Structure 1
């Protein structure tokens, strides 16, 4: 019996590149290949992918990127600027092998909606909270992409009309991402965001106040998104998802303050794939092809 070729899933982030093979029909059954520091150039990325593919044919390639992706072109990737304007199909895929590319948060939601916490749902929001904030929306059973692939970038949402803005990070990222947790920790004499979370779990007042400020920012912005989209579920992915035991209460409180009664029952939950979500999503996308965001009937 002939065994079908697997797909190659690549999760390219601002600090690392991870790779895994997966069966075409079972994207969550990842066979890890390796993890490396994020490439410093296109030539380094091409060389790495070529070495992975050297001895193994694949049915398709899926790749995430931490930025704006339009089709298979990475339009704007702030942490990896050498990718700006690059067509990944042309540069990474061997002849005849299709490639699917997408924003990392959109791919994470694809994983959760296909085979994870949002499976069977038509409408959901995902926030991927790490060093920055990525986000994605499932609406009517498909991932919202917008005109250029950059829809629903909630890290750029603002609840402060006086904020002057920045070119490379949005208000919510500056108030609630991992680096904001680190800054809050330093301000009260703790090492980093992880120490802040631990202190909040111990009930320390200053840590709880800091977590409350982060939760207020997240919940206020999410309330606007929930009011606009009426999702069945809000998912949290990324490293901060492991801290929902202390973060969820202030987030939900802020959301419910800003929502009408019929939307206050919204559920906030961690995704099931954790740090594997990008790889699983890339494997799903590789099986679906270039228009991976459309629900496969």
Structure 2
């Protein structure tokens, strides 16, 4: 990175870890990774860590902005609901990080990941797309008319809470779809057939194990059924699978598409599924893009 070029700090804050990278403001994919640490245990600890990261950086060029992803609901720069990091609830991240001396752009992790894919990744050139990131939970976001949909409070398009079972009693911390197809659900499905975890279940399905394949098909069917309503409502050009799940399209994609196409009209059945370009780096790339774009980072075109 040129020492005289304005740069941005990208922060990807998850439920268990914090990752940081610097990038030139004009080249957000040219990330200079700084490190990964356990998620800070308080707002003050987060502030102090960010200031430490900036102080240790050797570039003499100006810090033009800070972009940060949050694994929860963000309204503007205010964290409203972060289930795995409750100490952030109600915290204005711009105010918290003011001592860092640079403007802050903040957003939900799935929305920021879609920002990366829509500006410099697999959804580049698209105006309408859905992103699904399956990890411990299910993150999701929507690009509509060249803008990332945020809703009245920043929490739009939370497909992990989609329901395709009228008898489900609901829950406070996870939605029906998460309980069917997120990481913990795949782990539970694996254990039910005598396998160690969801990764082992995926491997067994790839190897042709019929029991594992049936378990994966059940998760894919749940995903496709729930997504059908979103596709019918939004008419996206593509569905992106982001993060580690993008590597499972070969086994998860077919039952997902079969179920989705069964529940939408013929003119929507050409919808495609594609992997995201950045995988687990999407959050950092998107945070770098957001830092360069500023508070209205969600306006892509």
Q: TM-score, normalised by structure 1?
A: 0.97
What pairs up with 1:102-251 in 2 under 5 angstroms?
102-251=107-256
Contact 2:54 2:100 in 1 (8 A): no
Per-residue CA deviation, residues 95-120 of structure 1 (Å, 9 max, x unaligned), is: 65110000000000000000000001
Segment of structure 1 superposing worse, 265-274 or 47-56: 47-56
Q: Kindly state the Cα deviation for residue 55 of structure 1 after the two structures are TM-superposed.
A: 4.4
1:63 is paired with a residue of what secondary structure? strand
Q: Kindly state the Cα deviation for residue 58 of structure 1 after the two structures are TM-superposed.
A: 1.1
Q: Kindly state the Cα deviation for residue 241 of structure 1 after the two structures are TM-superposed.
A: 1.5
Flag structure 2 segments of 5+ consecutive residues without an equivalent.
none
Q: Kindly state the Cα deviation for residue 295 of structure 1 after the two structures are TM-superposed.
A: 1.8
Q: C-alpha separation between the residues in 2 aligned to 1:172 and 1:93?
A: 38
Q: Kindly state the Cα deviation for residue 252 of structure 1 after the two structures are TM-superposed.
A: 0.4
Match of 1:39 in 2: 40
Match of 1:28 in 2: 29
1:108 is paired with a residue of what secondary structure? helix
Q: C-alpha separation between the residues in 2 aligned to 1:10 and 1:72?
A: 14
2:74 matches 1:69: yes
2:34 is paired with a residue of what secondary structure? strand
Q: Kindly state the Cα deviation for residue 42 of structure 1 after the two structures are TM-superposed.
A: 1.2
Q: C-alpha separation between the residues in 1 aligned to 2:244 and 2:40?
A: 22
* RMSD, aligned α-carbons: 1.2
2:281 matches 1:281: no
Q: C-alpha separation between the residues in 2 aligned to 1:53 and 1:88?
A: 16
Contact 1:39 1:45 in 2 (8 A): yes
Q: C-alpha separation between the residues in 2 aligned to 1:95 and 1:280?
A: 20
2:215 is paired with a residue of what secondary structure? helix
Per-residue CA deviation, residues 106-163 of structure 1 (Å, 9 max, x unaligned), is: 0000000000000011000000110100100000001001001000000000001111
Q: C-alpha separation between the residues in 2 aligned to 1:2 and 1:34?
A: 20
Per-residue CA deviation, residues 26-53 of structure 1 (Å, 9 max, x unaligned), is: 1111000000111111122111101011
1:294 is paired with a residue of what secondary structure? coil
Q: How many residues matched?
A: 296
1:112 is paired with a residue of what secondary structure? helix
Q: Kindly state the Cα deviation for residue 238 of structure 1 after the two structures are TM-superposed.
A: 2.0
Q: C-alpha separation between the residues in 1 aligned to 2:41 and 2:100?
A: 25
Contact 1:178 1:240 in 2 (8 A): no
Q: TM-score, normalised by structure 2?
A: 0.96
Contact 1:61 1:93 in 2 (8 A): no
Contact 2:115 2:300 in 1 (8 A): no
1:215 is paired with a residue of what secondary structure? helix
Q: Kindly state the Cα deviation for residue 4 of structure 1 after the two structures are TM-superposed.
A: 2.2
Contact 2:17 2:36 in 1 (8 A): yes
